[in-house]
Structure 1
Amino acid sequence: MQSRELVLQQNNTVSTTREILYAIWGVALAVLFPVVFHFFQLGSTFLPMFVPVLTAALAVSPFTAYIIGAVSPFVSFAATGMPTIVPPVAAVMAVELSLIAALTSVLSHHTRWSPWLIIPFVMLFDRIGMALFVTIATPGFMTLAAISAGFPGVILQIALVPILGKWLLRHEK
């Protein structure tokens, strides 16, 4: 019985270590990607912070995915000054990223859905949620313009995140 408990403890330690490493990887790339994209003036168009957060979310637990999404904008602000705290872009992004990262992880771990189905579903959920948020938070604001501004980023995520997610999961063994 002790050897079984030891194996469970070792597996749990490996799992915890893996979660921590993926979380660090996701947050670090969530800081780096926007820097690269903003250098070419493509930041708000391609939503570069979303790619590493959603990719990591495919491989980690929903709780860890939520944390990655919640802290990434603030770590990025501390390291680079973006996204801004005032106006509260970082806070809005933290809520948005944490929710879609957790949803991505839940769908990845608790359904038989492929990342090719998960990411478009999550992006649709995100765009609808942002449309509702913008409509409620800023009545009279151009909701369609606010939501469609990141459309190229949605396409990038749908194309890139499943590929990166499969690569990440294949190399975890």
Structure 2
Amino acid sequence: MQSSNTSSESVARTLPSVTYQTVAAALAVVAAVVLPQIFHVVGAAVGAGPMLGQTLLPMHLPVLLVGLLAGPFAGVATGALAPVVSFALTGMPMAALVPFMVIELAAYGLFAGLLRGVRMPAAVPSVLGWLIRLVGAQVAGRLVDVVAIVVAVSLLGNTTMTVASVWTAVVAGLPGLVLQWVAVPAIMFAVDRRR
């Protein structure tokens, strides 16, 4: 077990090629635009409306994954571009939310990419190691979001967002967080095994 954990850790510490990072970021942006639309259609079909997307956080999943798979540059690019491209093509998220989502998602991608290379002790199973990295990226991304909202409210007089909205979003998105806690480590474990 120790040797497989060590080999996966060494693979996780090296950044992929620029081509790989670029292709991964492009595919992740597409996924981050398409997944919310699928969730909105399914939500409308089952009577949940747009709440399904707000609950399951489909735009976050590709951003976190690409950060863990391809590194901080691909993560930041995906996080920054996905809300802008989504808004340009679909009108969602709402215009007032786009800057905050750019900041939050870029932070998720950045921290996921930075944490991908963090070496875990040999006793920590690979799946748990990926879960720890993921939660670290989620917490860091939310903290950056809080700082952005505080700056917008305090210094810029923005009234469309409040710091309390971060807590509301976390509570509403708990099912999405659980989905990420299950799916992302499982995907990363499968990637480790293929390597």
**What range describes the TM-score normalised by the shorter chain of this pair?**
0.7 to 0.9
Amino acid at match of 2:59: M
TM-score under structure 1 length normalisation: 0.77
State whether structure 2 residue 122 is matched by structure 1 residue 107.
Answer: no
Q: 153-162 or 117-126, which moves further after superposition?
A: 117-126
Match in the other structure for 1:43: 53
Unaligned runs of 5+ in 1: 1-13
State whether structure 2 residue 158 is matched by structure 1 residue 122.
Answer: no
The 1-side partners of 2:87 and 2:166 are apart by: 26
Amino acid at match of 2:136: F
Report the Cα offset of residue 64 of structure 1. Answer: 2.1
Give the count of matched residue pairs: 156
Counterpart pick for 2:79 among 66, 69, 79: 69
Match in the other structure for 1:31: 33
- Decide whether the 8 Å contact of 1:130 with 1:147 is kept in 2: no
- Decide whether the 8 Å contact of 1:131 with 1:144 is kept in 2: no
Amino acid at match of 1:16: V
Report the Cα offset of residue 118 of structure 1. Answer: 0.8
Cα separation, partners in 2 of 1:148 and 1:21, compared to 1, 3 Å: same
The 1-side partners of 2:146 and 2:189 are apart by: 30
Match in the other structure for 1:149: 172
Q: 153-162 or 44-53, which moves further after superposition?
A: 153-162
The 2-side partners of 1:142 and 1:25 are apart by: 30
The 1-side partners of 2:138 and 2:37 are apart by: 22
Cα separation, partners in 2 of 1:152 and 1:21, compared to 1, 3 Å: same
Match in the other structure for 1:159: 182
- Decide whether the 8 Å contact of 2:63 with 2:78 is kept in 1: yes
Secondary structure of 2:35's counterpart equals: helix
TM-score under structure 2 length normalisation: 0.69
Match in the other structure for 2:20: 18
- Decide whether the 8 Å contact of 1:135 with 1:143 is kept in 2: no
Q: Spell out, residue by residue over 1:113-151, the C-alpha distance to the aligned partner (whole angstroms, 9 max, x if none).
A: 421211122223334444555566356856643431222
- Decide whether the 8 Å contact of 2:66 with 2:75 is kept in 1: yes
User: What is the RMSD of the two structures over their aligned residues, measured on CA atoms?
Assistant: 2.4
